[in-house]
Chains A and B, each alone.
Chain A
């Protein structure tokens, strides 16, 4: 770290300032996802909703989503829009009944290492640090026991 760079924060400051990539990712000692759960029917959503698509209910509570799951579908993207690093593995992970869209991370992005039905767990990864020293933290799923 060079003291000449005004945009590079001190280590302690950087550790202290984090922001999740999306508001349904909860950081801290036990990172996990939290869904908006319909109080009427239990349907879960990761985005802000005006109402429930399943039952038209209008009230939601926060519900923690299990941090382990099973890969139900995946693709290995090798051709993407400019600026998006490839290859990456996009997947749908079944977290004990709640479907989660995420990348698979900390795994070789090829069909020999990524398989349907593989068990995975939530992991966080850095997205980058802004000019105020705040680190954005994203999430993915990595092989369990890997």
Chain B
């Protein structure tokens, strides 16, 4: 049985192809991801002591139990979690916490989403206004406010977050944000599991359909279907497993979840910065590494405008230096800190609840030296990051096994 000072490791991990899966439902995709993760770790459902399960858009069904009905009803506790775009990372945290607390020595986490063809995920359509104006809700509004008092759509919210950074530090432009998207689309050409694998020129990106300036369509996360799953094992249990399992295991050096502390402006525009900075600081402290130690980073580029601010929030650059950091080429796959070599949410895709585990799969695959054509050579330390508005931030730091 694990102890509170126990090390945590990823024993097995898997992600499905992201994209359109018209013939697979949510349970099929989850089953595929979990079966893959169990097989990858060389274990079965009988070895699992706890399940963290994430699904956001599938309705009220308990996705964890539905998964058990396909792969094994072993009677272990299931925690169905929901934390916006941080849902997958939250499910992983559940498994990690249970193992860390010594409740079991092996836990499973998965996230799954069916999102292909979905449009805007927030911002209600405006119905015809009422026959008699009647104040309702916490603002006492007599009519819908989306589009009348700012915007509720995500491309617009995150556009403002990028613009706010530009206002504070200068140097941003429509073209700069488009160039970030150009990088991620280019990176995705090496990722066979990405929803989109087509390189786009900056001209094509800027000339595409404008959604919310400065975010055009390819600068927005791609709605798609997908799932990812991971098996977390305690360090002491891992020592009892085969040498091959120990060699391929990836160490979870830090597993952190934060929410947004109160800030003056966070009442009108979500503050995705402070909670990310807090999570990063906690994660670096726990792992005993710093940003310069990172060989690759998968961060939450839900929009091109968001990627920029997270360079700064994760401490990859000097405070205020995200524009120069990007223009130096640092975040391209041949740069000093490759960011989103998977293609990121803009091109790999963003099946919401899967994302916070899929990004761990990406970096784990590099740390194992199994990333094929897109392998970052010699990768030893990596960081993953997700943000769910509301807000929640998950950061994980992973390290290659010394075994």
Interface residues of A (CB under 8 A from B): 19-24, 43-49, 53-54, 71-86, 88, 90-92, 97-103, 111, 116-117, 127-128, 130-132, 134, 136, 138-139
Contacts and interface: CB of A to CB of B under 8 A. Distances in A.
Given A83-B126, A97-B264, A77 B140 contact: no
Contacts of A22: 139-142, 145, 149
B390 interface: no
A47 B151 contact: no
Given A22-B145, A77-B147, A81-B147, 12 more contacts: A48-B138, A79-B212, A80-B153, A84-B147, A90-B156, A92-B265, A92-B269, A99-B265, A103-B147, A127-B129, A128-B143, A130-B132
B120 interface: yes
Interface string B263-285: 01101110000000000000000
A21 B212 contact: no
A101 B147 contact: no
B175 to A, nearest CB: 12
Nearest to A86: B147
B311 to A, nearest CB: 18
B120 A73 contact: no
A77 B215 CA distance: 9
A71 to B, nearest CB: 8
Given A21-B141, A75-B159, A101 B149 contact: yes
Contact of B150 (A71, A83, A103): A103
B164 A92 contact: yes
Contacts of B145: 21-22
**For A44, A83, A111, A127, which residue has the most chain B Cβ atoms within 10 angstroms?**
A83
29 contacts: A19-B133, A19-B135, A22-B141, A22-B142, A23-B140, A23-B141, A44-B264, A46-B267, A47-B138, A53-B262, A72-B265, A75-B213, A75-B214, A77-B211, A80-B153, A81-B120, A81-B124, A84-B123, A84-B146, A90-B150, A90-B156, A92-B164, A102-B149, A103-B149, A111-B213, A130-B130, A130-B132, A131-B132, A138-B148
B131 A80 contact: no
A90 B149 CA distance: 7
B161 interface: yes
A101 B268 contact: yes
Contacts of B214: 75, 111
A116 B163 contact: yes
A75 B141 contact: no
A53 B143 CA distance: 26
Interface band, chain B: 35 or more
Interface of B: 120, 123-127, 129-133, 135, 138-143, 145-151, 153, 155-157, 159-161, 163-164, 166-167, 174, 209-215, 262, 264-265, 267-269
A51 to B, nearest CB: 11
Contacts of B157: 75
B147 A99 contact: no
Contact of B160 (A75, A88, A131, A134): A75
Contacts of B212: 75-79, 90
Contacts of A128: 129, 143
Nearest to A88: B147
A82 B160 contact: no
